[in-house]
Amino acid sequence: MRDRLLAAEKVKAIDWRDGALYLLDQRILPAEEVWLAYADARGVAEAIRSMVVRGAPAIGISAAYGIVLAVRQRLAAGGDWKAALEEDFTVLAESRPTAVNLFWALNRMRERLERLKSTDDPLAVMEAEAISIHESDREANLTMAQLGVELIRKHQGSEQAVLTHCNTGALATGGFGTALGVIRGAWLEGMIERVYADETRPWLQGSRLTAWELANEGIPVTLNADSAAAHLMKTKGITWVIVGADRITANGDVANKIGTYQLAVNAMHHGVRFMVVAPSSTIDMSLASGDDIPIEERAGSELLEVGGQRVGADVDAFNPVFDVTPADLIDAIVTEKGVVERPDTAKMTQLMCRKRLH
Ligand code: MRU
């Protein structure tokens, strides 16, 4: 399946080429495909904040390249370049609060920086570290796809229809996706007949990005309003809800795109299985439970306007963009280190002690 999955890779969101970072502007997809070039950490931080690039792993990878750009700039400026680099770490860390992959990638870059020897070429070493973060995310996607497909096979009944939320595909990762990677794999194996994609209000990652990625690959996809999910579970033979994650805490609670929690509640009610697919860089063992996860709130205009036109009444809008699904609503968390069924603190701790499976 690995080779077939690699052959199916069509879209990418991040391109590191000749020492420069290019990001596919996800704010205007699928209407236009525009690549933007970035030359410094501040620009990359702004790209993350404004959602040119989004999706937990993609944010982390972009931030790592942002540090490489900063190293080049700070070295050229001379003086105490390592001290000056602190400002770049800070500006990138402040770009978005919920996806822990951002902080994980920045920590990895910092650790590498601290291990530099006097004989090292700092720019080459830091670039290699960012590329390795990018490459290992791609590898993790492949392993998770295989593990997720095995899990579906283990529980397979009749024909499968799955429901997904937000965008967890090539646009959100360094490879072809987390939840969407499993869905791609299951489609290639003939185990899925149709994918239902929540439109994912208010930013429409589902209708603009997920539906576009799947349609590009000829995978049957039907778009639905987020509020149709319970009705779909009751009437359309959904067997799995498959989603990604932005942060998973030590007890197995999962922060993901707003609306995920209500999907899990509905799935439990309808006897539909609930799978979370995320690399171990999304797991934050320093937080005991989802109550400790900072939840990003974005501008009310994302709710009150459509295409820049005001459609809502003249009221305040509350726009939290993530929610937390409690571990006891989750059937399985699939990572590149292995699968945790019915997650709890003991199982998550055991998982994080394991090496990667590839
Ligand atoms: O606000 P976004 O688009 O960055 O949110 C993305 C999600 O919530 C995804 O489901 C999550 O990052 C998993 S992506 C592999």
**Interval 10-19: pLDDT, tens:** 889 999 999 9
From 24, 53, 167, 201, mutation site for ligand 1 pocket: most ligand atoms within 8 A of C-beta: 167
- Ligand 1 pocket member 166 (CB < 6 A): yes
In the chain, where the domains are located: 2-135, 147-352
**Interval 173-211: pLDDT, tens:** 999 999 999 999 999 999 999 999 999 999 999 999 999
CB 298 within 8 A of CB 321: yes
Q: Residue 25, SS3?
A: coil
Q: So what's the pLDDT on residue 19?
A: 93
96 in a known ligand binding site = yes
CB 345 within 8 A of CB 280: no
From 168, 281, 333, mutation site for ligand 1 pocket: most ligand atoms within 8 A of C-beta: 168
**E strand or H helix at 94:** none
Flag whether pLDDT at 358 surpasses 60: no
Distance (angstroms) between ligand 1 centre and the Cα of 171 equals 10
- Ligand 1 pocket member 99 (CB < 6 A): yes
List of residues 6+ apart from 144 with CB closer than 8 A: 178, 181, 182, 277, 278, 279, 334, 335, 336
Quote the CA–CA distance of 197 and 210 in Å, as a whole number. 7
pTM over 0.95: yes
Quote the CA–CA distance of 153 and 139 in Å, as a whole number. 22
**Interval 256-283: pLDDT, tens:** 999 999 999 999 999 999 999 999 999 9
Distance (angstroms) between ligand 1 centre and the Cα of 314 equals 29
Flag whether pLDDT at 164 surpasses 60: yes
Residue 329 DSSP symbol: G
Flag whether pLDDT at 5 surpasses 90: no
Distance (angstroms) between ligand 1 centre and the Cα of 168 equals 6
- Ligand 1 pocket member 26 (CB < 6 A): no
Q: So what's the pLDDT on residue 357?
A: 60
Q: So what's the pLDDT on residue 314?
A: 96
Q: Which CATH architecture has domain 147-352?
A: 3-Layer(aba) Sandwich (3.40)
Amino acid found at 139: E
Helices (H), ranges, the chain:
2-7, 41-49, 56-77, 81-93, 101-114, 122-154, 179-188, 211-216, 229-235, 260-270, 301-304, 345-353
Mean residue pLDDT of the chain comes to 96
**Interval 110-158: pLDDT, tens:** 999 999 999 999 999 999 999 999 999 999 999 999 999 999 999 976 6
Q: Which of 137, 246, 284, 323 is catalytic?
A: 246
56 in a known ligand binding site = yes
Burial of 80 (0-12, 13-18, 19+ CB in 10 A): exposed
Superfamily of 2-135 according to CATH:
translation initiation factor eif-2b, domain 1 (1.20.120.420)
Q: Is 80 a catalytic residue?
A: no
Residue 205 DSSP symbol: I
From 12, 246, 261, 296, mutation site for ligand 1 pocket: most ligand atoms within 8 A of C-beta: 246
What is the crossing angle of helices 56-77 and 122-154, to 10°? 180
- Ligand 1 pocket member 321 (CB < 6 A): yes
- Structure token pair of residue 299: 């501008």
Amino acid found at 59: I
- Ligand 1 pocket member 170 (CB < 6 A): no
Distance (angstroms) between ligand 1 centre and the Cα of 169 equals 9
Q: So what's the pLDDT on residue 354?
A: 86
Distance (angstroms) between ligand 1 centre and the Cα of 86 equals 27
Longest CA–CA span in the chain (Å) reads 66
Burial of 314 (0-12, 13-18, 19+ CB in 10 A): exposed
**Interval 199-242: pLDDT, tens:** 999 999 999 999 999 999 999 999 999 999 999 999 999 999 99
257 in a known ligand binding site = yes
